[in-house]
Amino acid sequence: MAVAVAAVRAGWRYARPVGWKLGCCPGQSRAGLSGAAGRWPGAAPKGAPRLLGVAALALGGALGIGHTVRGRLKSQEQLAKQAPPELAEGRLQLTLYQYKTCPFCSKVRAFLDFHALPYEVVEVNPVRKQEIKFSSYRKVPILLAQEGELLQQLNDSSVIISALKTYLMSGKNLEEIVSFYPPIKTVNDQGKEVTEFGNKYWLMLNEKESRRLYNGKEARTEEMKWRQWADDWLVHLISPNVYRTPAEALASFDYIVHEGKFGVVEGAVAKYVGAAAMFIISKRLKSRHHLQDDVREDLYQAVNKWVAAVGKDRPFMGGKEPNLADLAVYGVLRVMEGLEAFEDMMCHTRIGPWYLRVEKAIAEAQGNY
């Protein structure tokens, strides 16, 4: 399956996988994954064999989950030689460092695209990470935002989204806004030191600005609640479902090898070692997050819970248009497009109409519908 994707303005335009439509249950799709996945498809997992790391390096960025991305992917040298695009206000220049198949990165792209914010993309190699060697923060997404002479680095998908939304809604400068989301060092359940960010689901708006955006305090609280749910629960259902069975894992890597035109050795490494490793790792993730024996049931329950929260009386949680929670949930789910897990979800849950409405709203925001 060839998936044509054109870069429009500075965002993405996606083509629907051939043969898919709302309400049908086609056979298993062979849309691909980019590289090896740890917490999400496309990121090199901890504990994976070094050989798998080589496969990820070979694959890194060549394919996405259901999306072959072409167009505005630039190297750092290319970015240095040209002025990146500016926002409509003429103030910010944005560069997103990402893995294409990371749901957190997909969330940021959904936000940027819906708000029609131009941005350049730098695809990060998931093994070497040379593209972000300038940063002590070693995760993606990272957003560089230049405002006049000031170059500001924003880390964490929810911080990026909250800070930019605050910027668009208020008269504050970005440096001041970022200071409201301080990094906090904590120790996770595995005893590892991690960086969290304070206030990351809050928009730093005064009362007048809040009234322009929200129809009451309940709407703001609801949006924050479901943004956090997307990060804390929904995102952890992706990898276990994508690599649920050996056949699903193998089919995904088979597509990568076929489309990538690898040599015999490279193809064998990517297809068999990668698929086997990711099947095993998906079982560890299933245990860590206490998922059911059939992880599809967790996915179905989660998206139906979301649809119930949106309700029947409004097209989006945001009302007439998507809010930050709509865009977050859509961004997370989008990385499964073209895979069997996505098709099963669309067939066996009530998510389809809402999903297509968000997709249409993003396309319309970019003038591409």
C-alpha to C-alpha distances, 119 to 53, 55, 89, 135, nearest whole angstrom:
29, 29, 14, 19
Report the share of the chain in percent with pLDDT over 70. 71
pTM of this prediction exceeds 0.85? no
Confidence (pLDDT) at 151: 94
Known catalytic residues are 99, 102, 104-105
Q: How many CB atoms lie within 10 A of CB 88?
A: 11
- As a whole number, mean pLDDT of residues 271-281 equals 76
Sign of the dihedral defined by the CA atoms of residues 119, 120, 123, 128, in that order: negative
Alpha helices by DSSP H, listed for 115-242, are 157-169, 174-178, 207-213, 217-232, 238-242
> CB of 309 within 8 A of CB of 209?
no
Q: What tokens were used for 3?
A: 């998936």
> CB of 10 within 8 A of CB of 75?
no
All domains of the chain in start order, with CATH: 93-366 (1.20.1050.10)
Confidence (pLDDT) at 76: 42
Band of the pLDDT at 274, cuts 50, 70, 90? confident
Q: What tokens were used for 276?
A: 């086997």
CA–CA distance, 288 with 282 (Å, rounded to integer): 10
Strands 92-98 and 120-123: parallel
> pLDDT by residue (tens digit) across 314-363?
999 999 999 999 999 999 999 888 889 999 999 999 999 999 999 999 99
Given a cut of 80, whether residue 309 has pLDDT beyond it is yes
Q: Tell me which H or E stretch contains 329.
A: helix 324-334
Least confident of 30-39, 95-104, 142-151: 30-39
